[in-house]
């Protein structure tokens, strides 16, 4: 469904926010350890996200990653679109050059519905929503193998 890059991104940002709320700005090695992702690759991803102003970073001693108040308002949709491309929530599930409800592919009915649902969710939720679930249930950012 989502690429590894998107998955590492979401996990990393949730971890960053959770640590920020404890007053800490974690570095990429710590982040990678805590979300179980390859450290250098995670560093690269965060570098990209910082360039795109989706996350903030501080260099030097006591540096690390953090989310400003404004960045905490960015929708998951915007974040994912930065990674997967602008039209991830518009493209045809069957692989046609574009999705056209008036001239649909055989999957359109079902696919467009699901795509729309996902898009709605991503559009109305943020990293904060992921990090601080309303039901207060403990959430997991990594998992041991079976």
Beta carbon of residue 85, minimum distance to DNA (angstroms, whole number): 8
Partner touching 13 among DNA, a second copy, ligand FES, none, CB below 5 to 8 Å by kind: none
> If binding is defined by CB under 7 A, does position 93 make contact with DNA?
no
> If binding is defined by CB under 7 A, does position 60 make contact with DNA?
yes
Per CB under 6 A, the segment of 33-41, 79-87, 94-102, 126-134 that binds ligand FES is 94-102
Beta carbon of residue 63, minimum distance to a second copy (angstroms, whole number): 26
> If binding is defined by CB under 7 A, does position 22 make contact with DNA?
no
Give Cα 83 distance to the centre of its chain: 9
> If binding is defined by CB under 6 A, does position 105 make contact with ligand FES?
yes
**Cα–Cα distance for residue pair 36/48, rounded to 1 Å:** 19
Burial class (CB in 10 A: 0-12, 13-18, 19+), 66: middle
> If binding is defined by CB under 8 A, does position 39 make contact with a second copy?
no
Burial class (CB in 10 A: 0-12, 13-18, 19+), 98: exposed
Beta carbon of residue 27, minimum distance to DNA (angstroms, whole number): 3
**Cα–Cα distance for residue pair 46/56, rounded to 1 Å:** 9
Backbone φ and ψ for 57, nearest 5 degrees, come out as -140, 155
> If binding is defined by CB under 7 A, does position 68 make contact with DNA?
no
- Which segments within 70-122 are labelled E, that is strand? none
Beta carbon of residue 100, minimum distance to ligand FES (angstroms, whole number): 6
């Amino acid at each position: 469904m989502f690429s590894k890059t998107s998955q590492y991104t979401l996990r990393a940002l949730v971890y960053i926010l959770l640590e920020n709320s404890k007053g800490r700005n974690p570095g990429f090695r710590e982040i990678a350890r805590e979300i179980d992702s390859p450290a250098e690759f995670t560093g690269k991803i965060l570098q990209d996200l910082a360039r795109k102003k989706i996350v903030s970073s501080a260099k030097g001693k006591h540096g690390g990653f953090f989310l400003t108040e404004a960045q905490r308002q960015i929708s998951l949709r915007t974040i994912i679109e930065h990674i997967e491309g602008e039209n991830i929530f518009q493209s045809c599930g069957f692989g046609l050059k574009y999705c056209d409800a008036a001239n649909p592919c055989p999957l359109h009915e079902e696919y467009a519905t699901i795509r729309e649902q996902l898009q709605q969710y991503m559009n109305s939720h943020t990293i904060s929503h992921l990090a601080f679930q309303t039901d207060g249930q403990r959430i997991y950012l990594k998992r041991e193998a079976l």
